[in-house]
Structure 1
Amino acid sequence: MSNQWEVYLTRFDDHVASVRVNMAHTNPEFRPDFLNTLLYVWVKLQTPTADGLTTDEEAQRLYQIEDRLDEFLGAEYGAVPVGMVTTEGRREFYFYAESGDHLHEELEPVLAEFPDYAFQFGDKSDPEWQHYFGYLFPSPTELQWMQDLKTVTQLEEHGDPLTPRPVQHWFYFRTAESRDHVKALLIVEGFEVDHEPDVENAFGLVLLRTDAVDLDSIHRVTAPLTRLAMEHDGQYDGWETMVIQK
């Protein structure tokens, strides 16, 4: 199985959540039909932060629990770890396996190795991987936040001060009419048309505007652009800018 782990912050029912998910499973090649059962193990945190997440000190103990679960469920059930959520003072581990037969009898002795922790666990049929795509997988704006983080990190690695500068934003649409409508809306917001690169079966649009490129600032730009493109049958394809040296 391939690994492509990503981490992002979100909110579930108005509670902060930290999600770690293996994005490789978007590829059907890494979702074999026989892995049709979701296994879950929830761990109650002993010293959660004020917003229900994990302290650095407790994280080390949770890594030990994670390693043990990976080892045992992988060996006994052929289980594949797909995600982990920390929220509301608990850590949730999720796996897909061929079955959850006898899980309670088999897993209880393993969890007893950590007597200072309280656990909930179980299994359910999920052949369509609905929990993976509906709960663990990031939304389009969360995906864009992850891309923004990667780009900003690359700029920081070059010593960039992340100050305002011209930023290119790329879009693709199914129709020229959708492109023209979004273009008109964004020109009002201070964007300028750089060029319109048409490709096979898509109508491209590259806009330009000067903005700061620290993570908070640029994501306040890209999140609404992502939503706007989706609302008009299109896709926001990210941003580019020059590197500025201090």
Structure 2
Amino acid sequence: MSEHWDIYLTQSNNNNVFVRLDLGIKDSVPISGADKLVQVSIQTKSLFSKKMNFELLHIIEDEIGSALTESDFYIGVITEADMRTFYIYTIQEKKLLNTVESILSKHKKQTSDISIVDDPEWSFYLETLYPDVYKYQWIQDRHVVEQLIANNDNQKVPREITHWLYFSDIASRESYKNKLDREVYKIIDETTFEEETDYPYQLSISHKGTTELETIYQYTTELIKKSLEVGGNYDGWETQVIQSK
């Protein structure tokens, strides 16, 4: 449906779960008539086992994707420890069902299951599959970290990391500042924008730390939580590249 696919990590029953989805359609759904959500589940080995046949799973996914019509809307995949599930909204339920069953019949060694649920509001996509503010930030953090790695960044070296936040009024910005641990965070700048915007009061702060994803995500999670408490908006971070020798 769009080219804006991405992946994030979450947990279910204390197990890691990878969610891959089309992020680019959020403002375009639900689609009229595409009331049925088809879920195609394929039993696999352990997610972290070398025996898991990723190549075969990719083949099955490609075959399903290639067989979809303009009446079908492929929106995401969930990979658990022993299961990979593909999610497709459709206007033509029976036609899609026959297509998927035909594809799966060629891969009989893989235990599979197809289920169909009514979801005219696309609640599964909007409320379950689409990442909340914290998981969405994990995606953004990962992108920045990947860019740093591409520039040969030594992730283990602590350095100043700058964060930006925006607020609807001065009182909210002051309340946020009061929530910060000043032994960890330093106020860099405060700016007020003249143009009309919902969040004209900017705050930039920094902390000293590494750029390892798990570490940086702990900071961004904390900063987002505090911003939500005062109605603010966290808007990301940046830092200098410290190249490995």
TM-score under structure 1 normalisation?
A: 0.88
Aligned partners of 1:82 and 1:94 also within 8 Å: yes
Instruction: Specify the SS of the correspondent of 2:191.
Output: coil
Superposed structure 1 runs of 4+ greater than 6 Å apart: none
Gaps of 5+ in 1: none
Q: Distance in 2 between matches of 1:55 and 1:98?
A: 38
What are the superposed Cα offsets for residues 96-119 of structure 1, whole Å, 9 maximum, x if unpaired? 111423655554333211111111
Counterparts in 2 of 1:38 and 1:179: CA distance versus 1, 3 Å: same
Aligned partners of 2:90 and 2:96 also within 8 Å: no
Specify which of 68, 74, 78 is matched with residue 85 of structure 1: 78
Instruction: Specify the SS of the correspondent of 1:197.
Output: strand
TM-score under structure 2 normalisation?
A: 0.88
Percent identity over the alignment?
Answer: 28
Instruction: Specify the SS of the correspondent of 1:243.
Output: coil
Q: Distance in 1 between matches of 2:5 and 2:135?
A: 14
What are the superposed Cα offsets for residues 44-71 of structure 1, whole Å, 9 maximum, x if unpaired? 11x224xxx5647500001111112222
Specify which of 83, 89, 97 is matched with residue 90 of structure 2: 97
- What pairs up with 1:1-246 in 2 under 5 angstroms? 1-28=1-28, 31-45=30-44, 47-49=45-47, 55=50, 58-72=53-67, 74-75=68-69, 78-101=71-94, 104=97, 107-162=100-155, 163-199=157-193, 200-202=197-199, 203-246=201-244
RMSD: 2.1
Q: Distance in 1 between matches of 2:127 and 2:183?
A: 33
Counterparts in 2 of 1:102 and 1:81: CA distance versus 1, 3 Å: closer
Gaps of 5+ in 2: none
Deviation at 1:187, TM superposition (A): 4.2
Counterparts in 2 of 1:198 and 1:44: CA distance versus 1, 3 Å: same
Aligned length: 239
Instruction: Specify the SS of the correspondent of 1:218.
Output: helix
